[in-house]
Amino acid sequence: MNAFPGSIAFDEYGRPFIIIRDEDKQKRLTGIDALKSHILAAQQIAATLRTSLGPKGLDKMLVSPDGDVTVTNDGATILKNMDVDHEIGKLLVQLSQSQDDEIGDGTTGVVVLAGALLEQASALLDRGIHPIRIADGFELACQKAVEHLEFIADLFPVSSENLEPLIQVAMTTLGSKIVNKCHRQMATIAVQAVLAVANLETRDVNFELIKVEGKVGGRLEDTVLVKGVVIDKTMSHSQMPKELHNVKLAILTCPFEPPKPKTKHKLDVTSVEDYKALRQYEQEKFTEMVNCVKKAGATLAICQWGFDDEANHLLLQQQLPAVRWVGGPEIELIAIATGGRIVPRFEELSPEKLGSAGIVRELTFGTTKDRMLVIEDCLKSRAVTILVRGGNAMLVAEAKRSLHDALCVVRSLVQEPRVVYGGGASEIACSLKVAAHADQLASLEQYAFRAFAEALECIPLALAENSGLSAIHALSEVKAKQASTGNSNLGIDCMQTGNINMKERSVIESLKSKRQQLILATQLVKMILKIDDVRSPGESRHM
């Protein structure tokens, strides 16, 4: 039986190749037709995200094959949950994910910008310009735009004494999110969380120490920042104390149960005496384990594994509160926060391996009596937890995504304290600069420069459209004022306040985020413009 989908033939040099079955009926796009197909696919995805840009952007409802519903306007989340078949579409999904991993914000803008660049590239291809010349021109234009971004960027004060400037930046990020009705509170929480774990001298932020937990119930306004660790567990016994002070924690990865033989032998209990002896042995082992923990000086046992009712009752009798079934990541975070060591065997437990915490208490929510455990006033670490509340799971999930964006933007400012101004102000300024530079070029790249400048205007145009303004009129007005005054802080008045000066309105964005958007979008477009054929691995003609 032939293993190939077609027949084998030989060319005039005796080299074998496969004749694909129904090859005459199959169609493959190559050259400019392939490029146009790629650009069209990318434009469709960019158009989908375009309406989600800005403070008045619309949300998307995404339904998974399992029926789970997600409502969001976060670009990375939308693309991740979209069922994208086209190869170029998948590249745009990866582009958005790269922006999310690197910066955490600007995931929608980077895709919209890439779509606009490809739209301009399509017009240049129609004029007969070679795709390589377009790609190289875009790269040079991107360098010029990034240089101008660096020039117009302002230094930004990052201080633990004055939080207001950072809060304004976080509020700009959250302005387009579902949490904007309480976005000052959310912005303050995000800033406090980042500064709690940041080292301002080395400009380093340990994101591992910030944990975002969600709990359905209550209002968004009930969201709080806990200076410690919150775990979705309770005390193992209902009669154990609900609040402990000056706690010494034993962090265990060994179960409270008798040791089992590591062989395939089985134990037959044939008499009452044997059963009593076995039960007595188990009781002694339980007591021995509890005594090991008590002897080390622990006042609370955090156990990764479960234990049965008998062990639970014995822990209550011995007045040793315990928490069971605590997951691995949570165990590690508790160990970091309290300065304790994770102990794999009871015999290795000693006083110096215990963690310390000021307060361990149970939180109770609403009428459902849902409970969570809070470990606060940890001496060894600055770990914090943001506890997000909301009316349903969908709202809590979107609030967590929004807070993640705000946390990432504040982290970017701690790492590089320079900002540009929002409302499309920085894009318009870069567009004017790139267009002016195009007039000085005598080479073919001047067309790519002008196309790049026009593509940059897609961001303020989309902001104006989504805000219900006359997009062309609003953009031309701001461009004219920027060109005449040289003030690069003028942008689109999305909230229709009558003031287009984004610096005065504190609409602030991270320079790092804007720069990354330009670079990533240009790199992707350059890659797409160099693809003129798509072959699957099995389609190679020569063997």
Catalytically active residues are 74, 107-108, 405
The CA-to-CA distance between both ends of the chain, in Å, stands at 19
Q: Which CB contacts under 8 angstroms, 24+ apart, belong to 376-379? A: 376/226, 376/227, 376/228, 377/227, 377/228, 378/228, 378/229, 378/337, 378/338, 378/339, 379/338, 379/339
At 522 the three-state DSSP class reads helix
> Cα separations (Å) of 146 from 107, 151, 448?
18, 9, 16
Largest pairwise CA distance in the chain: 102
Do residues 521 and 510 touch, judged by C-beta distance below 8 A? no
How far is it, in rounded angstroms, from Cα 176 to Cα 412?
Answer: 19
How far is it, in rounded angstroms, from Cα 87 to Cα 380?
Answer: 49
How far is it, in rounded angstroms, from Cα 242 to Cα 372?
Answer: 11
The two three-digit tokens of residue 263, written as one number: 């062989």
**Tokens 């102990």 found at:** 343
Using left for φ > 0, alpha for ψ between -120 and 50, and beta otherwise, residue 291 falls in alpha
- Could you tell me where the DSSP H helices lie in 457-510? 458-466, 471-485
How far is it, in rounded angstroms, from Cα 522 to Cα 143?
Answer: 10
Residue 534 CB coordination number (10 Å) = 15
Q: Which helix (H) or strand (E) holds 252?
A: strand 243-252
Beta bridge partners of 70: 62
How far is it, in rounded angstroms, from Cα 421 to Cα 165?
Answer: 13
Q: Which helix (H) or strand (E) holds 243?
A: strand 243-252
Phi, psi (rounded to 5 degrees) for 17: -145, 160
How far is it, in rounded angstroms, from Cα 462 to Cα 428?
Answer: 13
Phi, psi (rounded to 5 degrees) for 40: -60, -45
Phi, psi (rounded to 5 degrees) for 198: -90, 150
Given CA atoms 428, 430, 433, 436 in this order, what sign does their dihedral have? negative
How far is it, in rounded angstroms, from Cα 132 to Cα 503?
Answer: 39
- Half-sphere exposure in the Cβ direction for 334 (13 Å, CA): 35
Residues 6+ apart with CB under 8 A from 268: none
